[in-house]
Structure 1
Amino acid sequence: MSDDAKNPEEEPTVPGEGRTSPEPGSEDGGTADIDGADDLIQAEGPDVELSAEDEALLDQASTDLVAEMRQDMLRAQAELVNFRKRVERDREANRDAVIAEVIRAVLPALDDLSRAEAHGDLAEGPMVVIAQKLRGGFDRFGLTQVGAKGDVFDPKIHDAIVQLPTPDVTVNTVADVIEPGYVLGERVLRAAKVAVSVPA
């Protein structure tokens, strides 16, 4: 038989050509994927039960975390309390500073009243009542007059204008008060101007 006698519709085939890939789940190849998934599931295994030691460690870790959070809460609460105290302290200090400035501005008027009283001008009349009210109001705030003759000289509240060598004294002593000083609580508003007797 010649080549021309062969069936022209028959075409040469390539080895492996014409085979279709197996469908998933088919007997040829799909079962391999499913079997692999089953193996993976079985590899994970059942839930692992913790030993008593591991459970104790977990409980200890939880306890430590709770204790740490409690410490943080207590620390934050203490900081809040300290902040409130600091605000109150600053507010009180600002209040005292304002009162001190107001009284310091009125000190010349108190000096005039003291001079008038020393000259006998406040023996009677309406100025006596005014002086009493002013001094009573300042006393309510804790204003105290400092600097008196015979006091031991204190550089914190006394301002020595003159030094007088005196053989009768053994320590520096206020000999005369030129201008009285004033103290508001522990704050010196004005030091007293004094003459000081010093040991000769």
Structure 2
Amino acid sequence: MAAFEADLASDSPVVDELADADDDLAEARNELASAKEDLARSRADLYNLQQDYNSYVRRAKADVAVQRQVGQVAVLEAMLSVLDDIEGARAAGELEGPFAAIADKLEDTLASRFELTRYGAVGDEFNPEIHEALMAQTNPERDHPVIGQVLQPGYKAGDKVLRPTKVMVENPE
């Protein structure tokens, strides 16, 4: 047995092969550890990418609703002068025939689909948040400011004021 141990201790090809196998095993272990680390990094990157994408989708869905409302408000604001002309023609008695039916349908559609309402009438209480006072006069019959004359009607879409009513205010003395 001593001779066998002596043979192992000497430089033999078997010992060299075992040493090489140990080196290969250590190298394989290092490569495996590196591959595990790369896999963990890749998984973390994928997780972060998925979270970024999910956040983007949520923001995009929220932005769609906001942009739609902004677009609707822009169209409604562009229609205000047309509605003023329709109301002027109605007040002058010139709104008749097929055009009257079209005007009524337009106003009904804007009211039902977009909650567009005209507001501000003579006798209403003056509210500086939704009315714009262009003139004022005193009236001894008044105990608080009220609308004495509507110079240009105001419009709301739901609760949002698109244009304040331009008025002459009657103030108490």
Tell me the TM-score range normalised by the shorter chain.
Answer: 0.5 to 0.7
Inter-partner Cα distance in structure 2 for 1:148 and 1:82: 46
**Is 1:94 the equivalent of 2:46?**
no
Structure 2 residue ranges without an equivalent (≥5): 10-46
1:137 equivalenced with 2:109 (yes/no)? yes
Give the 3 Å change call, closer, same or farther, for CA 119–24 of structure 1 in structure 2.
same
1:82 and 1:172 map into 2 onto residues whose CA distance is 50
Structure 1 equivalent of residue 155 of structure 2:
182
**Bigger radius of gyration among the two:** 1
Aligned CA-pair RMSD: 2.8
Q: State the Cα distance separating 1:157 from its structure 2 match.
A: 1.4
- 1:71-150 matches, within 5 Å, as 80=54, 84=58, 86-122=59-95, 124-139=96-111, 140-150=113-123
The separation in 1 between residues aligned to 2:5 and 2:65, in whole angstroms, is 86
Residues 127 and 82 from structure 1, CA distance in 2 versus in 1: closer, same or farther, beyond 3 angstroms? Answer: same
Cα separation, 1, equivalents of 2:74 and 2:82: 14
- Any stretches of 5+ residues in structure 1 without a counterpart? 1-22, 31-72
Give, in whole Å, the separation in 2 of the partners of 1:98 and 1:157.
22
Change in Cα spacing, 1:128 to 1:82, as seen in structure 2 (3 Å) is same
Aligned equivalents of 1:165, 1:93: Cα separation in 2: 44
Instruction: Give the 3-state SS of the residue equivalent to 1:178 in structure 2.
Output: strand
Tell me the matched-pair count: 130
**1:88: how far off?**
3.4
TM (norm. structure 2) is 0.65
Deviation at 1:90, TM superposition (A): 2.7
Structure with the larger RCO, 1 or 2 (CA within 8 Å, 6+ apart): 2
Q: Distance in 2 between matches of 1:188 and 1:166?
A: 28
